[in-house]
Amino acid sequence: MDDSVIYHHLPDNEVGWHAGDKKTEDGGNMTGIGIEMCVNQTGDYQKTLENTAKLIATLMIAYDLGMDEVRFHQDFSGKICPHRLITEGRVKEFRLMIEKEYNKYKEQEKQNESK
């Protein structure tokens, strides 16, 4: 995931080794969908965050997930990841971006259902 492309590497139901918590029963590897944000030198970091928030909101709706189920690599392994979000103190801001997109999509769903 970057400022312009989403590359879907693994099917959502396939175990990935992205969370760093081995085969922990309720851990990120076994129960989570890993999303990697990539920004190269010419990339737009803010746009990458916006695109990622939209993707996460879409997945939340598809799998009936709440904000409490949106977790980071750091939550499982202690690694400072996503590094830039954490070191810049923008985790709360990013969570609000996700929630805003989620609410927007849910409102669109309601409007479509009432038609």
Question: Tell me, what CATH number does 91's domain have?
Answer: 3.40.80.10
78 in a domain, yes or no? Answer: yes
Enclosing domain of residue 92: 28-113
48 pLDDT above the threshold of 90:
yes
> How confident is the model at residue 10, as a pLDDT?
84
> How confident is the model at residue 17, as a pLDDT?
77
> How confident is the model at residue 57, as a pLDDT?
98
> How confident is the model at residue 24, as a pLDDT?
75
> How confident is the model at residue 55, as a pLDDT?
96
What's the predicted TM-score (pTM) here? 0.88
Coil vs helix vs strand at 47: helix
Tens-place pLDDT, residues 68-107? 999 998 888 888 989 999 999 999 999 999 999 999 999 9
Token digits of residue 101: 């997109």
66 in a domain, yes or no? Answer: yes
Coil vs helix vs strand at 34: coil
Token digits of residue 35: 């999303």
Tens-place pLDDT, residues 3-46? 888 888 888 888 887 777 777 777 777 878 888 899 888 889 99
CA–CA distance, 40 with 97 (Å, rounded to integer): 22
107 in a domain, yes or no? Answer: yes
Number of domains in the chain: 1
The pair phi, psi for residue 45, each rounded to 5°, is -60, -45
